[in-house]
Structure 1
Amino acid sequence: MEAGVERKIMIDLENSALQFATRAHGEQKRKYDGRPYIVHPIAVAEIVRSVPHTPEMIAAALLHDTVEDTDATLLEIKEAFGPKVATLVAWLTDISTPFHGNRQVRKELDRQHLASAPAAAKTVKLADLIDNAIAIKAGDPNFWKVFGAEMKRLLEVLGDGDETLLAKARALAPE
C-alpha cells in the first residue's frame, strides 16, 4: 500500500474513533476537574502517540472507556473500527461488575484480566494510568491513596507494555 493511502487510512481511523468517543461520552465530565470527559481519551491517545504505536492503538486509546462508561458495545466498535481495535478495547475494558464484590475484589479481577493482555493493550493501559494518576493526584488526594495502591499492583502485570511509559507510570506511583 502506498504511504499516502496508508496515512489517510490511519487519519480516518483516528478521526472516526475521536468522533465516536466524543459522541459516546457526550456530556460526561471528568470527576477530578470537571472538564469534558473526552479530554481524557485524547490525552491517553497523545501519550500513546509519544511511543512506538499502531493506528489501532491510537483508536483504542480514544475508545478505551466507551464500553465501560457509555452505552457503546464491543460489537459496535468491531463493526465501526474492525477486530483489532475491538480486541484492544476489550482488553482495556474492566470485566468486573458490582456483582463481583467490593472495589478490592473487582480491581483484582480486572488486574488478572490485564495480565494476559497483549503488549499493545498494556501500552494503552499504561497511558491511561499515567493520565489518571496525574488527574487524581492533583484533584483528589484522598482517593489518590486508594488509586495509587491499585496502580502499583496493576503495574506488576504491565511489564510487557512500552518501557518508556512503564517508567513514567512507576515514577508517578506512590513509594
Structure 2
Amino acid sequence: MRSNWDRDLYIKACLFAAKAHRGQLVPRSDLPYSIHLNLVSMEILAALSIESGCDGDLAVQCALLHDTIEDTDTSYEQIAALFGMNVADGVAALSKNPALEKSVQLADSLERIQQQPIAVWMVKLADRITNLQPPPTHWDVAKIRRYRDEAIEIHTHLQAASPYLAARLAQKIQNYRVSDTIDLRSP
C-alpha cells in the first residue's frame, strides 16, 4: 500500500520540532520532549496505515509541530512560512489560547479544531492517547478525574475523525485509574 504522507516533510517537521523544543523535557522525566512528539506522530502513522481519506502530510506535520506555538517561542508566522498556512492553522487550533481562563481553553480549542480538516482532529486524539499514561503521583483524585473527563470530551467531539484513534482513546480512558482500588469509570 502506498503511503499518503511524504517522508521528507516528516523529517523537516521532526527536525524543526526537535530544535524548537531543545532543552525541554517530558514533565517529571529526564526524556527529551521530542519523545512525546514522536509518540503522537506514531499514533498518526498507525492510523494512516489502516484508514484513508485524510491528508497524511497535514496530519504528520501537525503531530510533530502541535506544541511549538504553545510551548516554545515559535510563532504562527514561522510555521506558516516553513510549512504552509494549512499546517500553521492546524497547529494554532491545537494550541491553547493563554488569554482565556483555563476552564474554557479546551472547549475553545475543540471548537477551533473542528473548523480544521479531519487530519487536525486526529492529532488531538493522538495527543491525548499519548498523554493518558499513569497520572503523576502528585495529582489528587479530583485532578485525575478532570483529566479523564477532558479525554472523554475530546473523544466525544472528535471521534468521527478516525475510528482507529477513537477506539484507542476509548480504551485509554477506560484504563485510566487513580489506582487499582479506585476506578474512575464510575462517578
TM-score, normalising length: structure 1: 0.83
2:89 alignment counterpart: 87
Once residues 48 and 119 of structure 1 are traced to their aligned partners in structure 2, the CA distance between those partners, rounded to angstroms, is 12
Q: Displacement, 1:155?
A: 1.5
Q: Does 1:167 align with 2:159?
A: no
Deviation >4 Å, runs of 4+: none
Q: Assess, with a 3 A threshold, how the Cα gap between structure 1 residues 115 and 59 changes in structure 2: closer, same or farther.
A: closer
2:115 alignment counterpart: 116
Q: Displacement, 1:71?
A: 0.5
Deviations 1:10-50 (A, max 9, x none): 22211111111011001011114331111001111111000
> Residue 34 of structure 1: which of 20, 30, 35 is its match?
30
Deviations 1:42-68 (A, max 9, x none): 111111000125122111110010011
Give the SS at the match of 1:36. Answer: coil
2:8 alignment counterpart: 12
Q: Does structure 2 conserve the Cα–Cα contact (< 8 Å) formed by 1:67 and 1:73? A: yes
Q: Displacement, 1:139?
A: 3.6
Q: Does structure 2 conserve the Cα–Cα contact (< 8 Å) formed by 1:63 and 1:89? A: yes
Once residues 28 and 21 of structure 2 are traced to their aligned partners in structure 1, the CA distance between those partners, rounded to angstroms, is 16
Q: Assess, with a 3 A threshold, how the Cα gap between structure 1 residues 82 and 105 changes in structure 2: closer, same or farther.
A: closer
> What are the equivalent positions in structure 2 for 1:1-175 lying under 5 Å apart?
10-52=6-48, 54-94=56-96, 96-97=97-98, 99-101=99-101, 103-134=102-133, 137-140=134-137, 142=140, 143-174=143-174, 175=185
User: What count of residue pairs does the alignment treat as equivalent?
Assistant: 165
Once residues 117 and 160 of structure 2 are traced to their aligned partners in structure 1, the CA distance between those partners, rounded to angstroms, is 8
Give % identity. 27
* Backbone CA RMSD of aligned residues: 2.3
Once residues 58 and 64 of structure 2 are traced to their aligned partners in structure 1, the CA distance between those partners, rounded to angstroms, is 10
Q: Displacement, 1:169?
A: 0.4
Once residues 112 and 87 of structure 2 are traced to their aligned partners in structure 1, the CA distance between those partners, rounded to angstroms, is 17
The structure whose residues are more often helix, as a share, is 1
Q: Assess, with a 3 A threshold, how the Cα gap between structure 1 residues 82 and 112 changes in structure 2: closer, same or farther.
A: closer
Q: Displacement, 1:149?
A: 1.2
Bigger Cα displacement from structure 2, 114-123 vs 56-65: 114-123
TM-score, normalising length: structure 2: 0.78
Deviations 1:97-142 (A, max 9, x none): 1x422x32222322332333321111111111100112xx254463
Q: Does structure 2 conserve the Cα–Cα contact (< 8 Å) formed by 1:126 and 1:165? A: yes
